[in-house]
Amino acid sequence: MSKLSNKTFPKPCRIVVKIGTRLLTHSTGKLNLGYMEKLSRELANLHNQGHEVILVSSGSIGAGRGKLNIMRSAVSIPEKQAIAAVGQGLLIQIYEKLFSEYGVVVGQILLTRTDLMSRKRYINACNTVLTLLKLEVIPIINENDSVSVEEIKFGDNDRLSALVAGISDANLLVILTDIDGLYTSNPRKNPDAKLIPEVEKIDAQIKAGADKSHDDLATGGMITKLHAAEIATNSGVSMYITDGSDPGVISRLLDGEHVGTYFYPQKHYLNRRKRWIAYGQEIKGLVVIDRGACDALCSSNKSLLPVGVISVEGDFAQGDLIAVTDPDNNEIGRGLSNFSSEELSSILQCPSNEITAIINRSSAEEVIHRDNLVIY
């Protein structure tokens, strides 16, 4: 699939659609079957046109709440896991029935963050998605909230959809939500907020307009959608945030109509391995480097050497992902460390030829090799 840097898309194209809980459920917490039917029909029609469609669907906890009639906001983690276990089965059962009416086969994939942290499992997830598409199946992907405590507390399907768009080399990610795009501030609180029709670069000003969601059924909010946009666009994927109350908006976008907020893909986007390093991992610590090392990394595509490291923070092991910051604590990149935090602390600002004598083992000379380093 070719990558485009404008708002036209190949026909057919590979598209990831993310749908949130608030569109999939009524205020009662029970599933909005009428909406799910419209969404399934729209995606089936796109599939019949030759587009490769991947659906990242929220709603398992909302569906489980409705099925079990547990609508109180205060529920324990084990209760959320049990609710999700019931909701996941209900959700895929309904999707399978709806899509089958249009002759389309669907396949469920449940992922946790650890599935994407492991390089081997990351590749396996990629292969599964691509094989399903090759078999003309629509993958339906969700976080596996029934077993993952961390995903329930901190996860969101906006980020997951961007990671899926990256591992599948999608042309377009469409995040369907209950608002018609990104605004300069929260339009529900500020009547003077303006819609931002397109974003070429996600900077501090853009992020300042995002407002965290507070919702019993949904997780995330606009800030998580901006994080998703960073992942998607740095993976070479175009992205739209748009009002999904009418699922037909997806076809309109593919036909060239501008609806919502469009995020341009970066021209120099990360390859698959660097995407995994930058976004599939969890940061375990950080190093602060001097100005000379910053110039070497940012301007000359060099590896990070111990001589350029000023300080070390956190407790990390060899092979863990660490952030790299300049002296002003601005993150300039991240990468896989060749040393543990303890080892690195003992060789700060040391020339490479002195490393072996200090830590008493033969090792790489670089703190982070350039092949394992992502610079922003």
**Same structural domain, 66 and 144:** yes
Position 241 pLDDT exceeds 90: yes
Instruction: State pTM to two decimals.
Output: 0.87
Question: pLDDT digit string (tens) for 119-173?
Answer: 899 999 999 999 999 999 999 999 887 776 554 443 578 999 999 999 999 999 9
Q: Choose the weakest-confidence range: 66-70, 150-154, 278-282, 353-357.
A: 150-154
**Same structural domain, 319 and 181:** no
Domain count, the chain: 2
Position 360 pLDDT exceeds 80: no
Q: In the chain, which residue ranges form alpha helices assigned H by DSSP?
A: 21-24, 33-48, 60-68, 77-100, 113-117, 119-134, 149-154, 157-167, 204-208, 222-234, 249-254, 272-275, 291-300, 341-346, 355-359
Position 230 pLDDT exceeds 90: yes
Q: Choose the weakest-confidence range: 220-224, 275-279, 284-288, 290-294.
A: 220-224
**Same structural domain, 340 and 229:** no
Q: How confident is the model at residue 7 (pLDDT cuts 50, 70, 90)?
A: low
Q: Choose the weakest-confidence range: 86-100, 269-283, 331-345, 357-371.
A: 357-371
Average model confidence (pLDDT) across the chain? 88
**Same structural domain, 92 and 170:** yes
Model pLDDT, residue 190: 84
**Same structural domain, 169 and 311:** no
Give a yes or no: residue 1 inside a domain: no
**DSSP secondary structure string, 88-114?**
HHHHHHHHHHHHHTTT--EEEEEE-HH
Question: pLDDT digit string (tens) for 63-81?
Answer: 888 888 888 878 888 888 8
CATH number, domain with residue 318: 2.30.130.10
Where does a domain end: 227, 254, 274? 274
Model pLDDT, residue 229: 95
Q: How confident is the model at residue 188 (pLDDT cuts 50, 70, 90)?
A: confident
**Same structural domain, 297 and 258:** no
Model pLDDT, residue 186: 80
Give a yes or no: residue 117 inside a domain: yes
Model pLDDT, residue 361: 64
Model pLDDT, residue 240: 97
**Same structural domain, 256 and 352:** no
Owning domain of residue 298: 282-375
**Same structural domain, 22 and 69:** yes
**Same structural domain, 217 and 172:** yes
Question: pLDDT digit string (tens) for 24-62?
Answer: 988 777 889 999 999 999 999 999 999 999 999 988 888
Range 39-43 contact pairs with CB under 8 angstroms and sequence separation of 24 or more: 39/247, 40/95, 40/98, 40/99, 40/101, 40/102, 41/98, 41/102, 41/247, 42/247, 42/248, 42/250, 42/251, 43/17, 43/99, 43/104, 43/138, 43/247, 43/250
Where does a domain end: 225, 251, 274? 274
Give a yes or no: residue 212 inside a domain: yes
Give a yes or no: residue 291 inside a domain: yes
Position 275 pLDDT exceeds 90: yes
CATH number, domain with residue 117: 3.40.1160.10
Model pLDDT, residue 204: 77
Give a yes or no: residue 8 inside a domain: no
Q: How confident is the model at residue 88 (pLDDT cuts 50, 70, 90)?
A: very high
Give a yes or no: residue 6 inside a domain: no
**Same structural domain, 96 and 204:** yes
Give a yes or no: residue 7 inside a domain: no
Question: pLDDT digit string (tens) for 159-179?
Answer: 999 999 999 999 999 999 988
Closest by CA position to 53, among listed 225, 173, 175: 173
Q: Choose the weakest-confidence range: 40-44, 302-306, 363-367.
A: 363-367
Q: How confident is the model at residue 303 (pLDDT cuts 50, 70, 90)?
A: very high
**Same structural domain, 108 and 250:** yes
Give a yes or no: residue 349 inside a domain: yes
Tell me the backbone φ, ψ of residue 77, rounded to 5 degrees.
Answer: -60, -45
Model pLDDT, residue 208: 73
**Same structural domain, 224 and 334:** no
Position 101 pLDDT exceeds 70: yes
Where does a domain end: 212, 245, 274? 274
Q: Which residue has the higher pLDDT, 253 or 355?
A: 253
Position 218 pLDDT exceeds 90: no
